[in-house]
Amino acid sequence: MNLPNSLLEKLEVRQQNNALRTLPVYQDRIDFSSNDYLGFAQSEAIFDATHTFLVENGFKLNGATGSRLISGNHALYEKAEHCIAQFHQAESALLFNSGYDANVGFFSCVPQRNDVILYDELCHASIRDGIQLGHAKSYKFQHNDVEDLERLLLKFTDQHPTPLTSHPSSLYIVIESVYSMDGDSPPLEELTHLCEQYGCYLVVDEAHALGVFGEKGEGLVQSLGLQDKVFARIMTFGKGLGCHGAVILGSGLLQSYLVNFARSFIYTTGLSPHAVATILIAYQYLEQSTQAMELLKANIIQFNQCKQLLGLKPLFVYSKSAIQCAIVSGNEKVKTIAQQLQAKGFEVKPILSPTVPEGQERLRFCLHAYNTPEQIAVVLESLMQLIL
């Protein structure tokens, strides 16, 4: 049976704009595209340790058997959440099935009808989707622009100059500690001061900071000692931890509220014991071994130095994270250059509009602990030959 004409027309528009998404076929190229920053997804040691842990503790189950509120809240959940909360110096931790589920669950139920959400214009789609499902009013501010954010804060607090505790509604500021399509970070210390001044609740998505920032990969918020000034942190495990799932860090009362009102938590089968055990073991490796993080940090420094030596720095968005993006305007042009890099053996992905705004198309380089200095030098030299 054919698709309705309205759907066919939308596909045709994507095709005409050279923006039609298709599922890629795996190619054995040098990895500059995956989010496996520390190589944990490929770690046989973590795989073996997880299996051993499950067997030794008698968890020979393939699935959770139900939602956590019915039959799926196996003992591993409580152990993992306790360890994660301690690692992140948080009062509580609540595991979700994915980062998307965590953001949709949080933003659809926590801000209420009379509340206001002010979010960075580059916040992830999962945050935006969660906001749309909720009832609060929402407004975006210019990327990493504290002045633009304060302009909005003044607009929504001019009738209520006293702290938020006396407001009839709540204000939420929503940011990411590392933005997935730029790789840059916000001025977190300034933002926490602003939230204190205006009595706002700060929510930080740390998906691309876990395993990358901090002495033990604890994330950017904690590395700056700001964890007690953030209302909620969302950590996802499909990047730096190399596994699956996510956690929302906050107070015990926030955890209780989410258990009662977050629909993406309530109405879904829980993670399997194997998935939760993998998260637990990955955290143990993150805490006990810093070698992978040190290699990753060295590669980030190497990449930034190399792009400057080759005269490529003006093409790139400023970033000290594992995500490095070179702006190459136009879907056709950026796809062509990506294909040429792939033909040279480098897995580099083009990011097309409408994923990013038209004119802001880019090549996205993801760095890893297992990339070598030689690979970094050669991929950037190849880029220079193709662009300059």
Average pLDDT over residues 99-120: 97
Residues 95, 174 within the same domain? yes
* pLDDT tops 50 at residue 165: no
Q: What is the pLDDT of residues 81-96, one digit of tens each?
A: 999 999 999 999 999 9
Mean pLDDT of 137-164: 84
> 9, exposed or middle or buried, with CB in 10 Å at 0-12, 13-18, 19+?
exposed
What does the longest C-alpha to C-alpha distance in the chain come to?
61
Q: Are residues 281 and 294 in the same domain?
A: no
**In the chain, at which residue ranges do the beta strands (DSSP E only) sit?**
30-31, 92-96, 116-120, 137-141, 171-176, 201-205, 232-236, 246-250, 323-327, 346-347, 349-351, 362-366
Residue 103 burial by CB count (10 A; 0-12/13-18/19+): exposed, middle or buried?
Answer: buried
Q: Which domain holds residue 116?
A: 59-288
Q: Which residues contact 141 (CB under 8 A, 6 or more apart)?
A: 118, 119, 120, 121, 148, 149, 151, 152
Is 186 found in the same domain as 235? yes
Task: Identify whether 17 is part of a domain.
Answer: no
User: In terms of domains, do 381 and 312 share one?
Assistant: yes
The tokens for 106 are 């949080």
User: pLDDT-derived band of residue 388, with 50, 70 and 90 as boundaries?
Assistant: confident
What's the pLDDT score for residue 158? Answer: 65
Residue 68 amino acid letter: R
SS3 state of residue 80: helix
How far apart are the two ends of the chain, measured CA to CA in Å?
A: 49
- d(C-alpha 98, C-alpha 129), whole Å: 14
Question: What's the CA gap between 14 and 6, in Å, rounded?
Answer: 13
Residue that is last in its domain, among 272, 288, 304: 288
> How much is the pLDDT for 101?
98
Segment 219-257, tens digit of pLDDT: 999 999 999 999 999 999 999 999 999 999 999 999 999
Q: Are residues 88 and 162 in the same domain?
A: yes
* pLDDT tens sequence across 356-383: 999 999 999 999 999 999 999 999 999 9
Q: Which of 264, 288, 312 is the last residue of a domain?
A: 288
Q: Is the pLDDT of residue 160 over 70?
A: no
Instruction: Using DSSP, state whether 323 is helix, strand or coil.
Output: strand
Indicate if the pLDDT at residue 266 is higher than 50: yes
Task: With CA atoms as reference, report the closest residue to 348 among 375, 320, 311.
Answer: 375
pLDDT exceeds cutoff 80 at 168: no
Average pLDDT value over all residues in the chain: 95
Compute the distance between CA of residue 231 and CA of residue 138 in angstroms, rounded to an integer: 18
Q: What is the number of structural domains in the chain?
A: 2
CATH number of the domain enclosing 165: 3.40.640.10
Q: Grade residue 114 by pLDDT with cuts at 50, 70 and 90.
A: very high
Both 119 and 193 in one domain: the answer is: yes
**320-343 mean pLDDT:** 96
Distance, in Å, from the CA atom of 350 to the CA atom of 365, rounded to the nearest integer, reads 9
Domain edge (last residue) among 240, 258, 288: 288
User: What pLDDT is attached to residue 164?
Assistant: 47
Do 33 and 92 have their domain in common?
no
The reply to whether 159 falls in a domain is yes
- Range of lowest pLDDT (115-119, 158-162, 228-232): 158-162
Mark 54-83 as b/e (b = at least 16 C-beta within 10 Å).
Answer: beeeebeeeebeeebeeebbbebbeebbeb
| Position 359, amino acid | G
199 within some domain? yes
pLDDT at residue 27, as a whole number? 82
Distance of alpha carbon 64 from its chain centroid, rounded?
A: 25
Q: Which of 324, 316, 329 is nearest to 366 (CA)?
A: 324
Is 47 inside a domain boundary?
A: no
Q: Are residues 200 and 240 in the same domain?
A: yes
Q: What is the rounded average pLDDT of the residues 70-79?
A: 94
Proportion of the chain above pLDDT 90, given as a percent = 91
The answer on 295 and 277 residing in a single domain is no
